[in-house]
Structure 1
Amino acid sequence: MELEQVVHSPEAQRQLYKRSLLVVIMSQIFGGAGLAAGVTVGALLAKEMLGGESYAGVPAALFTLGSALAAFLVGRISQKSGRRNGLSLGFIAGGIGAIGVILAATMDNVFLLFVSLFIYGAGTSTNLQARYAGTDLANEKQRATAISIAMVSTTFGAVAGPNLVEPMGEVALALGIPALAGPFILAAVAYLLAGLTFLVFLRPDPFLVAKAIAAEQEKQELEKKDARKVVEHKANRAGVLAGAAVLILSHFVMVAVMTMTPVHMQNHGNGLSAVGMVIGFHIAAMYLPSLGTGILVDKLGRTFMVIASGITLSIAGLMAAFAPTESLFWLTFALILLGLGWNFGLISGTAIIIDSTDIKTRAKTQGSVDVWVAISGTAGSLLSGIIVANSSYAILGFVGMYLSLLLIPVIIWVHVRGRSKEAVKTVT
């Protein structure tokens, strides 16, 4: 199927849209398994190699910092040469980073561990940016649903990953590798497969097709001297800022609480299987409800679901703070709500970003926003370790609750501002 053929055929565009979603689904299954390794055992590996809880947030900080750089580069590459090149390179880099973590754990080399975790972060941000690939040919009423299909696909790998911690640890021991490095074996294979899936199957590139369609439409509009339509396609700066705020705040809260949960559990006598189960439920809640969330975002609106995100995350933080240390049930429930609130924020915030951007700058803007999302994750990871080391896990829960509530006034302000502008337009 040639690019020119797709540009001039609505039916070919619909077929490519469906095919692109299938490719995204396949890659996200692999990508989900890859990101689960760092989430589940990264903090424990750092604690073992470096000693002390103050360092437990370092791995998540490093791979989220690495993901910030990768988000910027993947966004720029995607804008220039398409999703296929940007996403495949990002996943392959993540796979190489996972291999480096395995070598660092085997050699007990802290410097190599830090460098490898930084590179491993490329897989995390690429896994997030892959959600955009299914939206390039979607119309406004399909965008949140398309995002949700990509997100729910991640569930299969992301839930399996934490529950394979012990089996992969046994595989690692059999190979003469420390047990905590075992999940990174899975991550390396998963990320490399995700990258190859995009490289081989995402043809023609849906983003390049969308750019060509937009260029053709603009050409036709200019020929008709319909300048009004051309102006209407400009990016909405307020919308981009609002979407970015939603993504950044929800991600910060989720990463901060999630990062310290395995350490909190281990300190109260829970083994790796219990940690894997809780994180597995958490990651399931992050991705599994996506299809329903996408439909709700398209039907009920972006603002409604952002408010739902703030409320759900604040309840999760409060519950984590008050959950009895001996109660696995309540801690699991808190982490499920944490994942669900993040899911609401991610899909609604992403939809706002797409609605507010033009195809000429969309991938670049998406990458830039994801840089700040990754930086917020880095800050959340580092601060979570410091907060728990100097106070308690409960205090961390309270901090998460207060920050989550900020989402509500932010989105209401933007919503009211947007309606005021519409009213002015109507009057004039």
Structure 2
Amino acid sequence: MRAPAVQRRTLLVLSASQVIGGVGQAIGIAVGSLLAAQIAGTAAVAGLASTSSVLGAALLAVPVARIMSSSGRRAGLIVGYVAALLGAAVVVAAAFADSLALMLVGMFLFGGGTTAGFQARFAATDLAEPHRRGQALSLVVWATTIGAVLGPNLSQPSGALGEALGLARLSGPFLISAVLFALAALFVAVLLRPDPLLLSRELSAETWEPTAQRASVRRSLSAIVSTPDGRLGLLAVVVSHSVMVAVMVLSPIHLGHGGATLTVIGVVISMHIAGMFALSPLVGWLADRVGRRRTVLVGAVVLAVALAIAGTAPADRSGQVAVGLFLLGLGWSFGLIAGSTLVTESVPAAIRPQAQGASDLTMGLCAALAGALAGPVLDLAGYAGLNLVAGVIVVPLFLVALRAVVSPGRGTAG
């Protein structure tokens, strides 16, 4: 089978698995903070659920990337989905036992679904032509839209399922997540053949050395930051993801203070997720046509506008919050797609999987810290103060991207 045909099949399989896994991930994220607050009896710890998930996604990225480097993309994706399946089961047990500590362990493993989803975007670039990498990556990101938008809207019926089974209402969504992650793992195991990373190595003229496949996180990060485009790409994914996580995960708490039902919260989160994924093919096209640097700059501006809109919304103005979160998701999409493409192109192919894993590790750790601090900030300064702090974090990205666009120097990233 020729490489273009394999690439088309790879994109189709990765996209379908993203739909399945996207539902599983989104349905749990939509209620995770609410379940943590219910178990602990205080909203101050609500952000810990998402923080644990983000931290899990970050720390699992490195072993998953190493598995991919040695055994291919398929093996790594399966490991990520199986970890998420186990995590969902642990969260259900934690809700039954009324244990916050056990829930956080479960959410850590639940982050494996995010790890698999993020690594799938890189798998889409293995066989892509250089001038189409942004579009290939964005198509897999876009596929998450269906599952991710549908997921939060299943909160109500899946909650009813949990109650029917004698479990806590908010644990019901995690039952559905476990089943869907199992299906995603099975789907990838059967259909992602031939493996895109292993095939790209067979077709490459480069010599692949075992030592390159064992590149450390430090070596991988050093390779990324050794170039201006690599530094911009890493900063873009870190800032975009951290800001998105900090604001998004506590928006349900803000809306809850205004009397919003689970259905309303689900719709608002669906709007946010639509912003993250629905326009990603356009973002990928822009990254390829007008340049990665300019796309990052636009993303920084969109993030700032989003935070201004969401931050000025009273708790009972769910419509305004929805608009702000939609734009927050869109700004994230600009930063993630263009930034990930810059990271991919900034390192030699021999250590690309490890560099991609190191990038996701850094992105996840920073987002986990942002999520952990978001709860106390919300308590101290309110939702408006949380958005203001997030806006301050966006400023360095805007300035670095602006400098890269105005004074591009060497390179063709645009």
- What TM-score does the superposition give when structure 2 sets the normalisation length? 0.92
Secondary structure of the residue aligned to 2:193 is coil
Partner residue of 1:186? 176
- Number of equivalences: 399
Contact 1:61 1:378 in 2 (8 A): yes
Partner residue of 2:143? 153
Partner residue of 1:348? 338
Partner residue of 1:112? 102
Distance 2:277 2:132 in 1: 18
Distance 1:63 1:237 in 2: 31
Match of residue 268, structure 1, among 254, 258, 266: 258
Match status 1:337 vs 2:345? no
Distance 1:282 1:363 in 2: 29
Classify 1:247/1:216 alpha carbon distance in 2 versus 1 (closer, same or farther; 3 Å).
closer
Q: CA deviation at 1:67?
A: 0.9
Contact 2:257 2:315 in 1 (8 A): no
Contact 1:53 1:263 in 2 (8 A): yes
Match status 1:409 vs 2:402? no
Q: What aligned pairs does 1:72-111 form with structure 2 within 5 A after superposition?
A: 72-111=62-101
Identity %: 37
Match of residue 375, structure 1, among 355, 365, 388: 365
Secondary structure of the residue aligned to 1:124 is helix
Match status 1:69 vs 2:55? no
Partner residue of 1:42? 32
Contact 1:305 1:348 in 2 (8 A): yes
Classify 1:217/1:361 alpha carbon distance in 2 versus 1 (closer, same or farther; 3 Å).
closer
Partner residue of 2:20? 30
Q: CA deviation at 1:270?
A: 0.8
What letter corresponds to residue 38 of structure 2 in structure 1? E
Contact 2:91 2:106 in 1 (8 A): yes
Q: CA deviation at 1:140?
A: 1.2
After the TM superposition, which of the residue ranges 395-404 and 279-288 deviates more from structure 2? 395-404
What letter corresponds to residue 86 of structure 2 in structure 1? I
Contact 2:88 2:107 in 1 (8 A): yes
Partner residue of 2:5? 15
Which has the higher Rg, Structure 1 or Structure 2? Answer: 1
Partner residue of 2:217? none
Partner residue of 1:302? 292
Distance 1:332 1:213 in 2: 46
Partner residue of 1:174? 164
**Aligned alpha-carbon RMSD (Å):** 2.0
Secondary structure of the residue aligned to 1:406 is helix
Q: CA deviation at 1:421?
A: 7.4
Q: CA deviation at 1:410?
A: 1.5
Classify 1:313/1:266 alpha carbon distance in 2 versus 1 (closer, same or farther; 3 Å).
same
Partner residue of 1:123? 113
Classify 1:80/1:237 alpha carbon distance in 2 versus 1 (closer, same or farther; 3 Å).
farther
Structure 1, unaligned runs of 5 or more: 1-10, 220-232, 423-428
What letter corresponds to residue 374 of structure 1 in structure 2? G
Contact 1:306 1:345 in 2 (8 A): yes
Q: What aligned pairs does 1:191-210 form with structure 2 within 5 A after superposition?
A: 191-210=181-200
Partner residue of 1:291? 281
Match of residue 249, structure 2, among 259, 271, 296: 259
Q: CA deviation at 1:211?
A: 1.6
Q: CA deviation at 1:170?
A: 0.6
1:25-54 per-residue CA deviation (whole Å, 9 max, x = no partner) reads 111001111211332111100100012121
Q: CA deviation at 1:73?
A: 1.0
Match of residue 350, structure 2, among 337, 348, 360: 360
Partner residue of 1:139? 129
Q: CA deviation at 1:214?
A: 2.0
Contact 2:81 2:112 in 1 (8 A): yes
Structure 2, unaligned runs of 5 or more: 210-222
What letter corresponds to residue 175 of structure 2 in structure 1? I
Classify 1:303/1:110 alpha carbon distance in 2 versus 1 (closer, same or farther; 3 Å).
same
1:208-246 per-residue CA deviation (whole Å, 9 max, x = no partner) reads 111222246899xxxxxxxxxxxxx99963332221110
What letter corresponds to residue 321 of structure 2 in structure 1? L
Distance 2:321 2:197 in 1: 41
What letter corresponds to residue 24 of structure 1 in structure 2? L
Contact 2:224 2:230 in 1 (8 A): no
Secondary structure of the residue aligned to 1:360 is helix
Distance 1:161 1:133 in 2: 24
Distance 1:209 1:108 in 2: 48
Secondary structure of the residue aligned to 2:350 is coil
Distance 1:212 1:238 in 2: 30
Contact 2:225 2:231 in 1 (8 A): no
Q: CA deviation at 1:341?
A: 0.4
- What TM-score does the superposition give when structure 1 sets the normalisation length? 0.89
